[in-house]
Structure formats: structure tokens, C-alpha cells
Structure 1
Amino acid sequence: MVHHWSRDAWASVSANEPVTVALYVAHGFELLALSSALDVFRLANKAAGRIAFRWRTVSHLGEAVRSSCGIVVAVDGDLTQERRYLHQPERPALALVCGDEPDDGRETKVLSAWLRECRQRRIDTGAFGSGVAALAKAGLLNDRKCAVHWEALPAFKERFMRVEAAATIYEVDNDIWTCAGGTAAFDMLVELVKRHCGEPVAVNVGELAVAGRVRTGDERQRLPLLRQHGRLNPTVVKLIELMQRNLASPLTMADLAAAARLSRRQVERLFRNDLGRSPCRYFRELRLEHAKLLLAQSAMPVLEIAVSCGFVSASRFSRCFREAHQIAPHEARSLPAGRFLGASTPKPTIGDTPSDTCSPRSLA
């Protein structure tokens, strides 16, 4: 996680002066992220025994906004008024985006203009979940690190090549706050409370919310395909992370053994004990999941997806993809994204088939 936080970052806000936060809410926003954020501010005020945070919600025209779960939320004002606040004492110290606008709409241009003006006036900016794309479209994340939801990460990286996107819980880079959405908004804003109000207040916020623990920003969002496996051997986790960083490059068993400082046989045994399959099979499942996300969320040709996922040919990729999902890659594109992404990969068997045997040279 990147921190470019100076001790003077909140110099314009005295210890007893409330921090004003403006939250832009777009249609289809994630209700869990918004409610998590607002509750952090509410609980921070309670824990601090004073009004430490004030907030207001904004939409494009001040209209009520429907969330992704269907609940409609009223807002406090429109973006035109919010832009006027930038020249008034009511200006925010932090502007957060909850949800993204369609690319071809006027809303996107107005939202981008507001975000850029906030940065010009040295106002911190941030976003939850899909709102991170709004920051990227405004050009605020170029050459910066940000957190992106794991499901959106492959397409995000292809679209915004100048942004250093990561599947971490949250990131703070140059006073730009980004998180994966969901409960990650809670973790990120508890960090904000800690920096503004002190650690005791932040700890109390977690206690009041009955949070088992508050995660740090650099924690992983998930380890794909490990939903039911419980605690893993640290060496297996290390090798999985190595695989995730090399999806486009064929790793060899020698590479894995060298990274783990173990023999090939020991690496094989660790994967079979913890995951019930060989490193070869697991690496292929990772690459196929990456391909599945790219097919659903990007316009990349199938051949480019095959190459970016480490397959030596389009025919090899199509054959492996069909075996995993019972559908060809080009046919998967005709399905609605939600239906396709919701389909689970068949549960692997404990033993590998002959085709799962790793070659001496490559796991591809």
C-alpha cells in the first residue's frame, strides 16, 4: 500500500473543526459501501464526543438514486450546487465517488470536471468500488496506485494502462483514497478517522461497529478458488501470489521450487495436501478465471485474451476453457455478463487427469 501522507495534509482543518465530506452517488451504486462509509463518520462523531465529520450526498441533478440492490436513496443536493461550494466556506475536505456514470453520458463529463477541480483546489478525492473508474476517467489516477475490486481488475488494467491497479483492500496515494467497495469502505475510512482524530477514536469506531478487526490496506481481497479450504500453508500462499503475478508468463515447476526453496516433489505434495490438485492444474484454473473476467468485461479478441492468460495458442485456450465451463470462449460472449460470471467452475476432483500432468518445462 502506498502512503504519501504528510503531517500537514489536514493543516487547514483544526483539531476541533469538522471535516466535511461530499459523497457523489451514481445510479447502480453499492449500498453496502455507502452505508459503511456513513456509519464510520457517524460512529467517529460518537467516539470523539464531538462533530468530527459532516457529510452530504450528491447526485447529478439532485435526483433520488437507485442502488444496485434496488433500494432508492434520496440525496442532499446536485452537483451544480456542490461545485459552487468549492468557492465557499462549505467546501469539502474530501470528495468521494460511490458508483460510476455511463461513459457516453453528460454526467461523466460533469463528474470528471468536478473531480479535477477538487484536485486543483487541493481537496482530497476518493472512490468506492466502480467509482474508482470515475477517478481514472478524470485522469486523476495516472501513474498512481489504486485498489480495484478483484472481479473488475482484469478489464480495468486493460482499459487504464497508466494506472497501477491492485487487488488490495484500499490504497492511499497522493491523497487519493480508493477501495474495492463493500466492507472495504469501512476499513479505509477508519484509517481516515485514525489520521484525523487519533488511534483511540479509530479503535472505538471498530468496537462500536462490532468489527472483529479492521483490515490494513495492503491485505489481499481474496485468493481465487480457495473458498472452502480454510487455512493454507504459507508456502502455498506465496506460490499462489507468484502465479497471480505471472498469469501471462508460463512458469515452470523449477521456478516454483526455486521460489519456495523446496524440491519439486515437496511443492507437488503441498498443493495436493492443501488444494487437492497439482500446481499445474491450479495455475491453469487461475488463468482460466482471469480469461473468464476478460471475456465478460472487455472487448479484447479471444486470441489476445489467450495470450494475456499464458496460453500458447487460441486452440489450446479454447479447449481448456470449454473443459472448465462447458462453453466455447466466443459463445460465452453471447451470454449476459451477470449470468456468465455467476456460473461456477466445476469442482475439481482430488486426483488429476493425465492431461493435468505438468511438463518439465512449463505450467502453461
Structure 2
Amino acid sequence: MNEVPATLGAIRRIGFLTLNEYTMIALSSAIEVLRMANRLSGQPHYSWTILTPDGRSASSSNGLSFADAKTYDDAGDLDMVLVCGGTNVEKFVNDKVINLLRRIAHDGIVLGGLCTGTYALVKSGLLDGYKCTVHWENMAGLREFHSRVQFQEELFVIDRDRVTCTGGIAPVDMMLSVVKCAFGKTLVADISNQFILERVRDGFDRQHIPLAARLGFSHSALVDIAALMEANFEEPLTAVELAKLAGLSLRQVQRMFQVSLETTPTKYYLQLRLRRARELLLQSQMSITQIAISCGFQSTCHFSKSYRALYGRTPRSERQPHSAVTEFSAPLPLRKATSRVRMSSN
């Protein structure tokens, strides 16, 4: 997943097409990776240019703007153009922007989106047949009207000559993948150390999308059941117990999950627990046995088998690239939790 094409390793000149009210943190996160790559390598490997459709500076959502902006025609040769959007991106994606993006694509330049910049590429038809991602607040609406686009929930997605990521600091992880393709793991590790990153997130990392945002608040019963699941990882509730606490029949609960999420309550619950397990593997010093216990698995063997089925690797191999994370020498015996969190009756 998110295997970087070899052609991306040749990218050196990057244009950031800023739309009005773009998110500054996403733009600066991407640029800082390039700046640090140059600094640590001692070579000007990367150059970047701020672009706008008309050459006039765009204002970010925090009111700041770059004094120097260029049009695409004035920017010179570019290898990649990344569209930078913000909360109200739909207001600024007009015919002029769409025609410009189509022209850039026709020129054979790699295209991408930071935060809601993906919205502009979708509306331009430039992500039809591609996998991509976008901030979760925009995903549901886009997915409903653009069936030819394969929306993913990962933090960033690289599919051939399209690179997209969500908001916040996700551009750091995406650009580190691009740097890694060109200059290898050592430079990426050095950049991460300079930024004091606990770890570099990869293609298995997903943005957490609140279920209410994914389904809409009209599915309140399903949202409540999912909340019960998340509150009861160590001693998982059965489907019958979940249905009873929600005041529904088991058949009703099963149907809700199938219709709305295309899965069963049991499979959805397992994915939640495994996602939590991955967070603990990468972000804590808990032993694998302790993590298995805290995520409701009866044995480390069952945990390892389930984890590998979802992520394609074992819990132990997940930790191998992350030397800072170590296990306690004495694993705890498997046990059951003493209490469960129940749905409030209020």
C-alpha cells in the first residue's frame, strides 16, 4: 500500500498551488520536509515555488500569505504541483482553477492535494480511476457524487502520478515517503529526528473518522453501539450484549452494520481493537502480551493471527523498524477485566 513509484524519486522542483483560505499548517509541513532534506544533505536537492491561479498572493485561513507568488506559466519547469486547500475550498474551485489543473495534468506533471486540495482534483476529473484521500470532513460528500474516485481512509495515498493526503501534519508523512524514494531511509530518519517525530507514519495509518461524521447523525443508534465498542476493548461485549444495551434486537443491529458499513458487528469490533493494538505497538513500551490483553484477545497467538490478517505483518515485525519501542521483559498473564463500560441510561 502506498508504494512510491520510481518516477517520484526524480521529483526535485515542486509547485504549491495555493487557493484562498488554504490551511497553512498543511503547506508549511510539506515545505519543511523539503527544507530539512536540503539542510541535512548539504545539497539543494529540492526547490519549491508558491503558485496561485493569477499570480497574486492567496490568504491562508489564519490570515497570513506569502509575499511572492507566481503563475504556473512564470514558475518555470516543475516536476510536481500540489494543490493546497482549506475549509471553504469549494468557494475557490472555479472554471479557471479546473482548466489550469487539467492543463498541468496534460503537461505530464505529477499532481497532488494537501488537506482539501484533493477536492479540486476530484472536481477537475483528474482523480477518476485513482485511489486518493482527503480530510474526513469532505470525504462523505465527495464519495457520494464521485463514484469513479476510489476514496481511502489513509493519512496519505500515492497512486501512480497522483499524491494526496489529509490535513494537519499528514503532509509531513507523505513528503517523507517521497524523500525516502529518492534518498533512502537514513535521510528520512535524520529529518524525523530533527522534527522530534516519535515515528514516521506509513500507508497503514488511517485518519480517525468519527462514525457520526461518516454516517450522519441520523444513525444515532449505530454511533452509540460503536461508542460502546470503543469503551470496551479489554473485555469485549458480545453482539447480543451490544444489542440489549442499545434497546434493539440482534437482527436489527446486524442489519444496521451490514447496510451502513457493509460488515458485521463482530468484524467491525475486531478492526477497532486491532487499530488500537497497532497504536499501542507503535506508541508505547507495552509488551505484545500486555497489548493483547488490553485489546481483548484471549491469547497472543490469536492476536498475532488476527493482526496479520488485517495488516499483512505480525505484531512483532510491526515493531522491528521502530527501535525506540521495546518490550517489558516480564509479560503479564492473560486475564479478564473486572468491569465494562455501559451505555448511560440518562
Q: How does 1:145-294 map to 2 (within 5 A)?
A: 145-222=131-208, 224=210, 232=233, 246=258, 248=260
- Separation (CA, whole Å) in 2 of partners of 1:256 and 1:104: 36
Of stretches 44-53 and 66-75 in structure 1, the one that deviates more from structure 2 is 66-75
Contact 2:20 2:60 in 1 (8 A): yes
Contact 1:33 1:128 in 2 (8 A): yes
Instruction: Give the match for residue 290 of structure 2.
Output: none
The unaligned stretches of length 5 or more in structure 1 are 86-90, 261-272, 275-348, 355-364
- Separation (CA, whole Å) in 1 of partners of 2:130 and 2:54: 30
| TM-score, scaled relative to structure 1 | 0.59
Report whether the alignment pairs 1:117 with 2:103: yes
Summarize deviations over 1:146-170 as a string: whole Å, max 9, x none. 0111122111111222111122100
Summarize deviations over 1:128-148 as a string: whole Å, max 9, x none. 111001111121110111011
Contact 2:16 2:50 in 1 (8 A): yes
Q: CA 1:217–1:61 in 2, change beyond 3 Å: closer, same or farther? A: same
Letter in 1 for 2:82: L
After the TM superposition, list the runs of 4 or more consecutive aligned residues in structure 1 that deviate by more than 3 angstroms.
1-4, 100-105, 229-236, 242-247, 249-260, 349-354
In the TM superposition, residue 215 of structure 1 has moved relative to its aligned partner by 0.4
Summarize deviations over 1:239-294 as a string: whole Å, max 9, x none. 9xx9998562686667779999xxxxxxxxxxxx98xxxxxxxxxxxxxxxxxxxx
Instruction: Give the match for residue 351 of structure 1.
Output: 343
- Separation (CA, whole Å) in 1 of partners of 2:96 and 2:205: 34
Q: CA 1:48–1:234 in 2, change beyond 3 Å: closer, same or farther? A: farther
Q: CA 1:97–1:351 in 2, change beyond 3 Å: closer, same or farther? A: closer
Instruction: Give the match for residue 128 of structure 1.
Output: 114
The unaligned stretches of length 5 or more in structure 2 are 212-226, 243-253, 273-293, 296-340
Q: How does 1:74-89 map to 2 (within 5 A)?
A: 74-82=67-75, 85=76
Q: CA 1:200–1:78 in 2, change beyond 3 Å: closer, same or farther? A: same
Summarize deviations over 1:192-219 as a string: whole Å, max 9, x none. 1111122211111111111111100331
Instruction: Give the match for residue 39 of structure 1.
Output: 32
SS state of the match for residue 97, structure 1? strand
Q: CA 1:350–1:207 in 2, change beyond 3 Å: closer, same or farther? A: same
Letter in 2 for 1:3: E
Choose from 62, 83, 105 the match for 1:97: 83
Contact 1:2 1:172 in 2 (8 A): yes
Contact 2:13 2:48 in 1 (8 A): yes
- Separation (CA, whole Å) in 2 of partners of 1:161 and 1:129: 20
Instruction: Give the match for residue 3 of structure 2.
Output: 3
Q: CA 1:218–1:75 in 2, change beyond 3 Å: closer, same or farther? A: farther
Instruction: Give the match for residue 224 of structure 2.
Output: none
- Separation (CA, whole Å) in 2 of partners of 1:78 and 1:257: 49
- Separation (CA, whole Å) in 1 of partners of 2:261 and 2:8: 44
